[in-house]
Amino acid sequence: MAGQAPVDMTEADAANELMRLAREIAKHNKLYHAKDDPEITDQEFDALVRRNAELEEAFPHLVREDSPSKVVGHEIAASPLSKVTHEVRMMSLDNAFSPEEVEDWVSRVRRFLSLGEGEEVAITAEDKIDGLSCSLRYENGKLLRAATRGDGQVGEDVTPNVAQIPDIPQKLSGDVPEVFEIRGEVYMSKADFHALNAAQEEAGGKLFANPRNAAAGSLRQKDASVTAKRPLKFWAHGWGAASEVPGATQEEVVRKIEGWGVPVSPLFTRVHDVASMLAHYDRIGRERPDLPYEIDGVVYKVDRLDWQQRLGFVAKAPRWALAHKFPAEQAETTLEAINIQVGRTGKLTPVGRLAPVLVGGVTVTNVTLHNRDEIARLGVRPGDRVVVQRAGDVIPQLVDNLTRDVEREPFNFPDHCPECGSEAVAEEGEVDVRCTGGLICPAQRTERLKHFVSRGALDIDGLGEKTIDQFFALGWLESPADIFRLHQRRDAILALEGWQERSVDKLVDSIEARRAPDAARLLFGLGIRHVGAVTARDLMKHFHELPALRQAAEAARAGDEEAAASLTAIDGIGGAVVEALGDFFHEDHNKAVWDDILSEVTPPPYIVETKESPVSGKTVVFTGKLETMSRDEAKAQAERLGAKASGSVSAKTDLLVAGPGAGSKLKKAAELGIEVIDEAGWAEIVAQAG
Ligand SMILES: [Zn+2]
């Protein structure tokens, strides 16, 4: 963050900025530690922390109670894991970014210890792995408890999870002190991270931004069997509470831990001056792209433990340790093209195609541009020179446009889907542009077909997801109407593996059983945006027949205000629904699919059977807990009896059905003199109408 130099700032400005920084850093800390879901790169985060430190140094009297410099990590999120208080606090490390800062640190250490010029300071150096800190408590050599760092004082109990990590022995071998807490990092290798994300994508699960998040998400599981399926690794870099420390130097103890059977970094070493520290840093930096795991720097520690003791801590970090971070890896290249990919939900994602460029040892050829707004923010157009960054993250980002001032046509975000040619629109207040051709868009088709036959829609038995995928791949399901023509492919289906006469008959029967489908379910099955099951029913209750609905939607789209008003006058129908319907029927493809379906099936007029009952035409409100049915079922009963179910009590309410726990609505009904009955009373009305 490029801020004003502190010397040029007024106190008020500094105080303001410190307040903002405290809030920002706390927010990102929370995203990072508690939710494993960061919004900014580690480098950006570090920049915020440094800016905060810079201002605090210049204005020490303005240091806030909630200053980020006083907090380690983040208070753990509301979590199903139980909490563990660390006997010895888990610290974080101060960071350095330049050789000068490393040199300064060594000088500070020397000054603090008032060492003579000839006296050497041995320093251990090891690569800083991008993982999740963990403390393993061994008593008499047996693993008693494992805890995450949490906020440094209180972490989460991950003992059963850690038992699934092969690197972590349940029992240490050799001569181990009675109590010894080994501290280190749980991490995931790059290869395992990629494989996990590929599997997650396959299964439609959440993708992890980087190996660190994958490791954290895998470890912090209530169900340790999930952890067991994730290939986690561990290495040790230090210790916490110990009944006895088996050595006089950092290196001796680390080697002891290794001897007990716990891995340590293979790049752990000991050096004796700043020049060798920096040489080791450079070496690790060069090896970094080829290492099987992600690292983000090198950690230096004063080797002598008696000196560590004397140096002690400042705020949240030990004076005897320093993390020397790697800069974000960046490279310049040309943005050759911007392609649009269409996702399964119809979202159009712009992808930048780059002239191949090596960033941190990895050749990058494309980069996601996220959405229309991101393209506008960067002002990128094909032909621009751009800066690509691979930070601790594995996913490359486009961070700067070096030629944005060069005159060139701006990139026009497409208003049509490149896959199917349908119109692509962003709804008001949304950044994502979506294809409106759900039914014919190849990118979306199988998902839509699955929705079409799903339980809430046409509810066709025997046409599962796998079958749809298979039939689709064979070219048998170009559109939903093709489902109703599958009986013509009887022999071809029989020839497929796993199909017998009986199963084909069953499938054909369940399809034939839907030749006269419920119009609201059919409408819902079309997957028109904003037209859910309830909205579809509301619409059909009003229009009764699908062509009437289409006519109104098309007229509204064409600017017929009366038609638009007739739609929005329906309870539960708002402008977004009207717009979505208009967009849908504006597409020739959709109209063709619609006509095709209606040539195969004939929904009867949609009339909600209303029985003559004591509540016909009345407005009923349900409140409190219902014992024998759900709120939805009760509302459906009311509709069937010709009553209108409403959510709130007003002067228009005729009847309040109140279960136990009814509160303000009951009170209001009493004030308004509205008839109140209980659930049993309601059941009686329903039974009478029978
Ligand atoms: Zn499309």
Residues near ion ligand 1 (Cβ under 5 Å): 417, 419-420, 422, 435, 437, 441
Q: What is the CATH number of the domain that holds 277?
A: 3.30.470.30
Q: What is the CATH number of the domain that holds 483?
A: 1.10.150.20
Mapping DSSP to helix (H, G, I), strand (E, B) and coil, where does residue 342 land? strand
CA of 413 to the centre of ligand 1 (A): 14
Average pLDDT score over residue span 514-542: 90
Checking if the pLDDT of 36 tops 70, the result is no
Asked if residue 166 is part of any domain, the answer here is yes
Question: What is residue 1's predicted lDDT score, i.e. its pLDDT?
Answer: 36
Q: What is the CATH number of the domain that holds 23?
A: 1.10.287.610
User: For residue 444, what are the CA distances in angstroms to 422, 439, 448, 571?
Assistant: 12, 7, 6, 30
Average pLDDT score over residue span 650-664: 87
Summarised one tens digit per residue, pLDDT across range 591-618 is 999 999 999 999 999 887 666 778 888 8
Question: What is residue 207's predicted lDDT score, i.e. its pLDDT?
Answer: 72
One domain for residues 44 and 94: no
CB of 154 closer than 8 Å to CB of 76: yes
Residue 153 and residue 134: Cα distance in Å, rounded? Answer: 12
One domain for residues 635 and 583: no
Question: What is residue 143's predicted lDDT score, i.e. its pLDDT?
Answer: 94
One domain for residues 167 and 41: no
Asked if residue 493 is part of any domain, the answer here is yes
Last residue of a domain, one of 263, 290, 325: 325
- Indicate the range of 46-50, 287-291, 502-506, 514-518 predicted with least confidence: 46-50
CA of 563 to the centre of ligand 1 (A): 28
Checking if the pLDDT of 556 tops 80, the result is yes
One domain for residues 233 and 320: yes
Checking if the pLDDT of 427 tops 50, the result is yes
Checking if the pLDDT of 468 tops 70, the result is yes
**Can you say whether the dihedral through the CA atoms of 601, 604, 605, 609 is positive or negative?**
negative
Question: What is residue 71's predicted lDDT score, i.e. its pLDDT?
Answer: 63
Question: What is residue 612's predicted lDDT score, i.e. its pLDDT?
Answer: 72
Summarised one tens digit per residue, pLDDT across range 172-221 is 998 999 999 999 999 999 889 888 888 887 777 777 767 888 898 888 88
How many CB atoms lie under 10 A from the CB of residue 278?
Answer: 17
Residue 526 belongs to domain spanning: 519-598
CA of 72 to the centre of ligand 1 (A): 47
Average pLDDT score over residue span 335-350: 88
Question: What is residue 651's predicted lDDT score, i.e. its pLDDT?
Answer: 86
One domain for residues 163 and 228: yes
Last residue of a domain, one of 495, 512, 529: 512
Residue 448 and residue 442: Cα distance in Å, rounded? Answer: 10
- Indicate the range of 75-89, 396-410, 495-509 predicted with least confidence: 75-89
Average pLDDT score over residue span 514-531: 91
Question: What is residue 38's predicted lDDT score, i.e. its pLDDT?
Answer: 66
One domain for residues 57 and 31: yes
CB of 55 closer than 8 Å to CB of 6: yes
CA of 449 to the centre of ligand 1 (A): 14
Last residue of a domain, one of 598, 627, 649: 598
Closest CA to 38 of 278, 293, 263, 214: 214
One domain for residues 561 and 669: no
Considering only residues 474 and 46, tell me which one the structure prediction assigns the higher pLDDT: 474
User: For residue 251, what are the CA distances in angstroms to 238, 243, 474?
Assistant: 10, 19, 64
Question: What is residue 176's predicted lDDT score, i.e. its pLDDT?
Answer: 94
Average pLDDT score over residue span 309-321: 87
CA of 343 to the centre of ligand 1 (A): 9
One domain for residues 37 and 97: no
CA of 424 to the centre of ligand 1 (A): 8
Checking if the pLDDT of 35 tops 70, the result is no
Asked if residue 60 is part of any domain, the answer here is yes
Checking if the pLDDT of 429 tops 80, the result is no
pTM equals 0.48
One domain for residues 477 and 524: no
- The helix (H) or strand (E) run that includes residue 12 is helix 11-29
Mapping DSSP to helix (H, G, I), strand (E, B) and coil, where does residue 430 land? coil
Asked if residue 498 is part of any domain, the answer here is yes
H helix and E strand count, the chain: 24, 24
CA of 529 to the centre of ligand 1 (A): 14
Give the whole-number percent of the chain exceeding pLDDT 90: 41
One domain for residues 508 and 527: no
Confidence of residue 525 (pLDDT cuts 50, 70, 90): very high
Question: What is residue 208's predicted lDDT score, i.e. its pLDDT?
Answer: 77
Q: What is the DSSP string of 474-504?
A: TT--SSGGGGGGGGGGHHHHHTSTT--HHHH
CA of 419 to the centre of ligand 1 (A): 5
One domain for residues 527 and 506: no
Residue 101 and residue 257: Cα distance in Å, rounded? Answer: 30
Checking if the pLDDT of 587 tops 50, the result is yes
CA of 59 to the centre of ligand 1 (A): 56
Asked if residue 256 is part of any domain, the answer here is yes
Question: What is residue 294's predicted lDDT score, i.e. its pLDDT?
Answer: 87
Summarised one tens digit per residue, pLDDT across range 127-144 is 999 889 999 999 999 999
Give the whole-number percent of the chain exceeding pLDDT 70: 94
CA of 426 to the centre of ligand 1 (A): 14
- Indicate the range of 158-172, 336-350, 360-374 predicted with least confidence: 360-374
CA atoms lying within 13 Å on the CB side of residue 612: 0
Mean pLDDT of the chain: 86
Asked if residue 349 is part of any domain, the answer here is no
Checking if the pLDDT of 66 tops 60, the result is yes
Asked if residue 296 is part of any domain, the answer here is yes
User: Which residues is 139 bridged to in the sheet?
Assistant: 142, 179
Please give the tally of structural domains in the chain.
5
CB of 352 closer than 8 Å to CB of 369: yes
CA of 557 to the centre of ligand 1 (A): 20
Q: Please identify every residue annotated as catalytic.
A: 128
Q: What is the DSSP string of 387-426?
A: EEEE-SSSS-EEEEETTTTS--PPP---SB-TTT--BEEE
CA of 460 to the centre of ligand 1 (A): 25
One domain for residues 524 and 489: no
Question: What is residue 32's predicted lDDT score, i.e. its pLDDT?
Answer: 66
Q: Is 652 left (phi over 0), alpha (psi -120 to 50) or beta?
A: alpha
Asked if residue 219 is part of any domain, the answer here is yes
Mapping DSSP to helix (H, G, I), strand (E, B) and coil, where does residue 148 land? strand
